[in-house]
Amino acid sequence: MNPRSSEDLFDLAPVVPVVVLSDAADAVPMARALVAGGLPAVEVTLRTEAALGAIERIAAEVPDAVVGAGTVTTPEQAERAAAAGAGFLVSPGCTAGLYEAMAATGLPTLPGVSTASEAMALLERGATALKFFPAEAAGGRAYLTSLAGPLPQVRFCPTGGVTAASAPDYLALPNVGCVGGTWLTPADALAAGDWERVGQLASEAAALAPAR
């Protein structure tokens, strides 16, 4: 079920849950709840020691999930995430070296940008699917609207400050393929193992897909 290209990531679901896990044991029930709610793509951020183990478990035990590694900031992290079974890679920003390492894995990638110049630099390398981060702090919907004119071939996944309330406005933009959000997996729900709540939030988010 893993996407073959970066653009394919946009077709999986309107919202990609951005998850921080402190316990790899939570990975499988969380992923199953998200998938059941209609969100098959799950971005596990490499911000904790449990992250790679969580990716391994989801990849092995939740076949309907497409698990990716987020917060990839070094070539080594890209390699280790790929080895753990990640189906895609996401970075908060991007350098030439990091992009080369991510591309070398053969996995779909969403390299992060926050300016037109950064987007153009990646466009020169053939990347047309990008992460826009931090979305709200970097200009939000208005900034992405401004980029649509000069860079019509680029599509974005805005992440950072996006909420259930603001997601529909982002998704209505022609150059937005999906959004990334942390609201799908609240810390208190993860701590309590409240997978029913996670599934409900996922179901509500899955329904945000706009008519094109």
Q: Convert 12-48 into a string of H (helix), E (strand) and C (coil).
A: CCCEEEEECCCCHHHHHHHHHHHHHCCCCEEEEECCC
Please tell me whether the peptide bond between 134 and the residue prior to it is cis, using omega within 30 degrees of 0.
Answer: yes
Q: Give the model confidence (pLDDT) of 61-89 as tens digits.
A: 999 999 999 999 999 999 999 999 999 99
In 3D, which of 199, 190, 194 has the Cα closest to residue 26? 190
Contact call for residues 84 and 69 (beta carbons, < 8 A): yes
Helices vs strands, H then E, count in the chain: 9, 9
pLDDT for residue 131 is more than 70: yes
From CA 141, how far away is CA 22, in angstroms rounded? 32
pLDDT tier at 212, thresholds 50, 70, 90: low
pLDDT at 7: 92
Contact call for residues 59 and 87 (beta carbons, < 8 A): yes
pLDDT at 171: 97
pLDDT for residue 2 is more than 80: no
Give this prediction's pTM.
0.96
Where in the sequence numbering do the catalytic residues fall? 43, 131
Contact call for residues 143 and 119 (beta carbons, < 8 A): no
Classify domain 7-206 at the CATH class level.
alpha beta
pLDDT for residue 35 is more than 80: yes
